[in-house]
Amino acid sequence: MRFNRRGFIGAASAGIGLLAAPMVRAQGVANVVVIGGGAGGATAARYIAKDGGDRVRVTLIEPSRAYYTCFFSNLYLGGLREFDSLGHSYGTLASMGVNVVHDWAVGVDRDAKTVSLAGGASLPYDRLVISPGIDFKEGAIPGWDLSAQNAMPHAYRAGSQTELLKAQVMAMREGGTFAIIAPPNPYRCPPGPYERVSMVAHTLREINPTAKILIVDPKESYSKQALFEDGWQAHYPGMIERIGPDFGANIVSVDPAAMTIDIDGQVEQVDVCNVIPAQMAGRIVHEAGLTEGDWAPVNPADMSSRVDPNVFILGDAANQGDMPKSAFAANSQAKVCANAVLGALTGSRVFPARYSNTCWSLIDTEDGVKVGATYEPTEEKIASVDSFVSEQGESPEVRAETYRESLGWYDAITEDMFG
């Protein structure tokens, strides 16, 4: 199926309905506070404000005035997309009635039902939606922390880091080595590091064809592995080498000053090093006491916290079951959440939850592949009920169509998030 704006929005909305005129629950206006303006938070804020009318006041807390999508940022690294095309403002959400506050949420008092901001304000809520994305686990890669991100960028939260990594790739010496340290499971966008390898290879093939790419990967296997490796052999023969845990990739440290990687005692000199550390839910979720381990457990039927029914946790931060940590997944979860929040606050009809996800990856110009599934809630988790993946050996026409489908999806989801 090819996606376009109307098709994506219509198909995604059908799972929750948001169609019936909601009942007025009581006099007064309910307060919904949303922390995080990405695929989960922006979507939830938009749908709650759109369908809540004058009965629900929605405040979106997001420190950035423009949101740069991590999804599709690899295409910028590959020279196939302009950086500005990744940026989206919150102006339309504000014009739709969302109170957009550009500040940091620094605390949640779940007893008082308030969110405190870095600027000193305190916001009351009847329901709280948290979609903070990921943070990196301290000490995950010895020798690296956020103070080293200018020397060895992560570029896994898009924006200036993405621009920095692109600049470093473009400035590599002839025949140099680009290294990427992939994260352990679970992490944001499972195919993301390997699409990044593809797009960096695409750039290097054009400007630095004798350069090498080294993947240091602690995982035994990864998403779309056969598809990526077939594509690398076809498009970038001899350029890419992957070292897995059998050869020490799970025992790694770095020296940003020397630009070296120690792989189980073997020191490699590199020219650019993209470090993607192990990940956890955004810190505000931990500080609010909503996590078990690295992630926040949620109820599969509506994305409400298993710790506090007045709080909903979306996207990368949630431990929800089979769905990957992706923008499509967060957007899908946000609509289920919005329906549940409106039902609780206004008495409107709550529809059975259905979820979906597709992850597209670009290997070379118009050589796109995808993986995805549909999901339903069980008592224990959000469970996959049907899945698909691109096949090896597909024709160039099929791969080109998959790429064009991804472009339609990008336009559709960003319109669905930001209006």
Which of 49, 46, 25 has the alpha carbon at shortest distance from 37?
46
Average pLDDT, the chain: 94
For residue range 292-307, what is the model confidence (pLDDT) as tens digits?
999 999 999 999 999 9
Asked whether residue 83 carries a pLDDT value surpassing 80, the answer given is yes
Asked whether residue 94 carries a pLDDT value surpassing 70, the answer given is yes
Whole-angstrom Cα distance, residue 166 to residue 164? 5
**Model pLDDT, residue 9:** 44
Whole-angstrom Cα distance, residue 365 to residue 240? 17
Backbone angles phi, psi at 5, to 5 degrees: -55, -55
For residue range 375-392, what is the model confidence (pLDDT) as tens digits?
999 999 999 999 999 999
- Domains in the chain (CATH in brackets) are 5-135+279-418 (3.50.50.60), 138-201+210-275 (3.50.50.60)
How many whole angstroms from its chain centre is CA 65? 18
Residues in the chain, overall count: 419
Cα dihedral 381, 158, 196, 405 sign: positive
Residue 168 tokens read as 């470093």
Residue 14 tokens read as 């059908």
Whole-angstrom Cα distance, residue 121 to residue 405? 43
Whole-angstrom Cα distance, residue 46 to residue 90? 10
Q: Given the structure tokens 């500080």, which residue do they identify?
A: 287
Q: Give me the residues paired with residue 280 across strands.
A: 135
